[in-house]
Amino acid sequence: MAKDCSPLQSKELREIRAMVDRPLIFKGILSAVDAVKAVDAGADAIVVSNHGAHTLDYLPHPLQVMDEIVAAVGGHTVICVDGGFRRGSDVLKGLAFGARLVGLGRPILYGLAADGERGVQAVIEEITGELKRLMTMTNTPTPAHAGKHLLVAF
C-alpha cells in the first residue's frame, strides 16, 4: 500500500514540536497559509523553498511568494529562503525580499565535486565577495539593511 503523502495537519505539527527540544525549522513553505500553520505549530524558523523545483515543474519560485509570506508571519519567526540561488546577487535579492538567511545548495555541491573542500571554500568566497561588492555599490551596510528599494522592479 502506498504511503499517504498528504500535508501534515496542524495537530501533527504541534505533536512534532512537543517532541523536539531543539530549534525546529519547517521547509517547503510556499504560501501564507502554510507559513501561518508552521508558526502556529511552533516553528522556530521557516524555509520558503520549492526544493530547487525538483518536486513539481510548476511550483513558484520562492521570490514569487515571499511578499505574502513575510506579510503573514514577518516578525513572528525567522524566514529563510532557498531554491535556485546561485550568486551573490541572488543572495541580495533573497535578503531584499525579507529573508534573514539564503540557502545555497547546488553551488556548494559543484565546488565540492570540482575540488573537494577547497572547491567549497572557493565557491563560498566568490559568492560572499560578490555579495559584499553589491552591498557596497548599493550602500547596504549590513544584510539586515537590504530591502526592496534595492530592486529595479518589484
* Residues tagged active-site: 51
The C-alpha angle 61, 57, 66, rounded to 5 degrees, equals: 15
DSSP string, the chain: -PPP-PPPPHHHHHHHHHH--S--EEEEE-SHHHHHHHHHTT-SEEEEE-GGGTS-TTPPPHHHHHHHHHHHHBTTBEEEEESS--SHHHHHHHHHTT-SEE---HHHHHHHHHHHHHHHHHHHHHHHHHHHHHHHHTT--SGGG--GGGSS--
**Sheet of strand 25-29, all strands in order from the earlier edge strand to the far edge:** 25-29, 45-49, 78-82, 101-102
